[in-house]
Copies of this chain bind each other. A is one copy, B any other.
Amino acid sequence: MIKKRITIKQVAKEAGVSTQTVSRVINNRPDVAPETRQRVLQVIDELGYRPSHIARSLIQGRSRTLGAVGYGLEYFGPSRTLSGIEQQANELGYSLLLSLLRQPERNDVEQLFRHMLSRYVDGIVWAVPEIGNNRDWIRQEIPQLSVPVVFLSTQPRPNQSVVAVDNRSGGRMATKHLLDQGYQNIGLITGPLDWWEARQRQLGWQDALKEVTTENNLVVEGDWTAESGERGLHQLLEQRPDMDAVFVCNDQMALGALRSARQRGVRVPEDLALVGFDDIPESAYFYPPLSTVRQDMVELGRCAVRELGRMIEASQQDKAVIEPKTILLQPELVVRESSVEISRKVGE
């Protein structure tokens, strides 16, 4: 049952060559005589030999492994992102060392980094939302850090590589769409405002309304949950009975808002139009189907890993360190019934 690991030495002995030659074979080096190669390959097969990645890592100081730090896997976005990260890492020939944060607000970054570095990760994808000042460590830690890091969904910073969805643009799209449909008083249910992404969506809403009066009582802060969306809409409608549309900053809260509307006898979209954010698979089946802003989280993850791969390559070749980039992915408006003028006309 307890198999002893078969080493390059045993293969070498069995094949009557040096370990070097075996090494050359398993690394597909060209400078091996075809027959020798054949023989070695056969012995490898017979013995069931498999190279030790660990030994290689030790020598080369790199492990072909990427560290991924995530948060909130229970939500739709983050799990898609991780999926994208894994896919791209895999395609680039990297393994993934996964760590999940439980308290994204204040994280013991130092220890986490140490942990990953002690495992010789070649780079790190930081897929944790920027909340409060949970990025303050960057300035202190990063300069001493010996591997490239890419940040996801983070406010762009000089000298850092960041990949994010353009939430502001998304918020603008959603709001502009509502204006285009003829709605006048457009409320906002935000995410928790210590989240950078939530603030960006709010800014987008403001952008779109800039020429219209932007009043304070059109905004309520939610916490991403359906429950907060339900409460949020109640409150908003109390404050502003004349409100005829709301940009709700994620689909879950929009679902809550939908219930809220139903309970108050407010028809969507006839009396009130709603646009969400995220395009979770369920939102097409809400009642009514929810207009929303789709962000391609899988692509976000892939994109981050691609960028990280580039940085790793560059640092390996000791070229001038690659210029940190900020990549913004554009979201896409998905129009469904919860915001469509045509229903509105019919309804009124």
Which residues of A does B touch, CB under 8 Å? 1-3, 5, 50-55, 57-58, 61, 63, 65, 68, 73-74, 76, 79-80, 82-83, 86-87, 90, 95-100, 102, 114-115, 117-120, 144, 146, 225-226, 230, 252, 255-256, 258-259, 262, 280-282, 284-285, 287, 315, 318, 321
Question: Which of B73, B79, B97, B146 contacts A97 (CB under 8 A)?
Answer: B97
Cβ–Cβ contact A281 & B262, under 8 A: no
Task: Kindly list chain B residues whose C-beta atoms are within 8 Å of the C-beta of A5.
Answer: 61
Q: How far is the CA of A280 from the CA of B282 in the complex (A)?
A: 11
Cβ–Cβ contact B96 & A285, under 8 A: no
Most chain B C-beta atoms within 10 Å of own C-beta, residue among A74, A115, A262: A74
Cβ–Cβ contact B96 & A97, under 8 A: yes
Given the known interface contacts A281-B226, A287-B259, the answer about A53 and B118 at a Cβ–Cβ threshold of 8 Å is yes
Given the known interface contacts A52-B118, A282-B226, the answer about A73 and B63 at a Cβ–Cβ threshold of 8 Å is no
Task: Kindly list chain B residues whose C-beta atoms are within 8 Å of the C-beta of A76.
Answer: 74
Cβ–Cβ contact A50 & B120, under 8 A: no
Cβ–Cβ contact B117 & A50, under 8 A: yes
Cβ–Cβ contact B146 & A285, under 8 A: no
